[in-house]
Amino acid sequence: MAVFREISIPFGGVDYVVTPSNKVLRRIEMKGRREDPAFNLVAVFYRATALGSGFYDLSFVLAELINDAGGKVTEDDALGQFMSMSDPKQLAEYTALICSCVMPEVKDDAPKKDAGAGTTTAE
């Protein structure tokens, strides 16, 4: 059963279909830790989405994802992609797209309760 969803990442005029998996994400994290023992994907994604920083580490992750999908890019190419975006909204959306690869899709199959069921109003 696959819990991750495919993500289409536009890069250099090409849409790369990335299929994240636990194996891919662990490989990226282990490779990152070779250079920085404190490297942590969750921390990278947190800094990028919540703090709007950490683009150097996120560039590494983006390059690894693109290369896993068949591309041939460097971390510098990936950093250039982020730096080329002058619109803060576009940058935030692109960052969120990259970061979404770490979160498996959660399906809520539980039946929805009727919001009004079981409530009474006092008059």
* pTM flag (> 0.85): no
Give residue 118's pLDDT.
52
Which conformational region is residue 96 in: left (phi greater than 0), alpha (psi within -120 to 50 degrees), or beta?
A: alpha
**DSSP symbols for 54-98:** -HHHHHHHHHHHHHHTT----HHHHHHHHHT---HHHHHHHHHHH
| CB contact set of 52 (below 8 Å; sequence gap of 6+) | 92
Give residue 21's pLDDT.
85
Give residue 50's pLDDT.
78
Give residue 123's pLDDT.
47
- The whole-angstrom distance between residue 9's C-alpha and the CA centroid of its chain comes to 10
Residue segments in the chain with a per-residue pLDDT below the cut of 70: 1-3, 51-52, 103-123
Give residue 19's pLDDT.
85
